[in-house]
């Protein structure tokens, strides 16, 4: 398992972190900052609905990331195509951006009760996404450069 796989396997942990940050945010500021999936679950089932949502999202992301890692390994070991390196790099970076958006949501949920006016700005979200993406890209740059190319 290389660094790329380890970073991709962070994704199944993010719904649990989102659950904790959402409950933290709810305990201080109310439900106006709840996402589109969490709001109906919270209204119909309470905090247990959020736990069910986080658990199902974690399982979904775990299965999805395992499939992505399996496909990445197939590309590297068996499917020798000329455009393979570019296709893998683009898709890996897209998953890193998805993780960055999720991480920025978790961070802003934790910051919302403390600094409500700052967390409402899109600039903070963009800064958090760019920072996470840049750090993860720098961490995995060596492995991405070692992807085989023909």
CA dist 57 and 63 (Å) reads 10
CA dist 43 and 28 (Å) reads 17
Query: Average pLDDT of the chain?
Result: 84
Residue-level pLDDT at 129: 93
Residue-level pLDDT at 149: 64
pLDDT tens digits for range 112-132: 877 777 767 788 889 999 999
> pTM for this one?
0.80
| Other Cβ atoms closer than 10 A to 4 | 23
Residue 20 in this model has a pLDDT that exceeds 80: yes
Domain regions of the chain by residue span: 3-145
């Amino acid at each position: 398992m290389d660094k790329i796989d380890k970073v991709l396997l962070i994704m199944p942990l993010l719904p649990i972190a989102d659950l904790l940050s959402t409950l933290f945010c709810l305990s201080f500021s109310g439900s106006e900052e709840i996402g589109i999936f969490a709001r109906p679950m919270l209204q119909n089932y309470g905090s247990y609905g959020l736990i069910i949502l986080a658990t199902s999202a974690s399982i979904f992301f775990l299965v999805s990331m395992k499939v992505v890692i399996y496909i990445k390994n197939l590309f590297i070991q068996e499917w020798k195509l000329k455009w393979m390196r570019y296709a893998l790099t683009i898709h890996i970076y897209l998953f890193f951006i998805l993780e960055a958006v999720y991480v920025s949501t978790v961070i802003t949920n934790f910051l919302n009760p403390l600094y409500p006016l700052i967390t409402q700005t899109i600039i903070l979200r963009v800064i958090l996404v760019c920072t996470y993406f840049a750090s993860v890209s720098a961490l995995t740059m060596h492995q991405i450069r070692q992807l085989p190319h023909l």
